[in-house]
Amino acid sequence: MDHKSHSCIDINDAGEELRSELSARSRDVSAEIPECTRKISDLDQLKSVSKEEMSRAENAICSNADELMTQIQIQKQELLDELKIKQMYGLKQIAGAKHDVERHAAMLESFSLYADELRDKGSACDVRVRRRVY
């Protein structure tokens, strides 16, 4: 290739041009650094505020949940106490009804035995006398 076919600049001139270009670009880049630093600081602050807000929200959720669970436990105990009272009352009624039926059954059984005995062993006079008693 022929050296004269393109225009060349002196190596020293090219070096100076490159230094000048690098200096200008370096100043432009350096001017952006404070803005980047500010943005990093803003983002760190935003992160900190976000963490605090999330922590407060989590504490509020936990507090509300604890309060609800306490209310549920109180209501559960009230319902169980009410059920126990109704159960005791119901069982008392059942026991009383059973006792009445057992007593009635015993009276019927006693009467049936007496009637059988009177029928089988009693005289006509006993039947007449006993009839007036009832």
Instruction: Give pLDDT tens digits along the chain (134 positions).
Output: 555 565 777 787 778 888 888 888 888 888 889 999 999 999 999 999 999 999 999 999 999 999 999 999 999 999 999 999 999 999 999 999 999 999 999 999 999 998 888 888 877 676 555 555 55
Query: Has this prediction a pTM greater than 0.75?
Result: no
- What range defines the domain where residue 45 resides? 9-133
Asked if 118 and 130 count as a contact pair (C-beta separation under 8 A), the reply is yes
- pLDDT given for residue 132 in this prediction: 53
Query: What letter would DSSP give residue 56?
Result: H
Backbone angles phi, psi at 17, to 5 degrees: -60, -45
Q: Do the domain assignments include residue 74?
A: yes
Query: What letter would DSSP give residue 4?
Result: G
Q: Do the domain assignments include residue 1?
A: no
Q: Do the domain assignments include residue 4?
A: no
For the chain, what is the domain count? 1
- pLDDT given for residue 130 in this prediction: 53
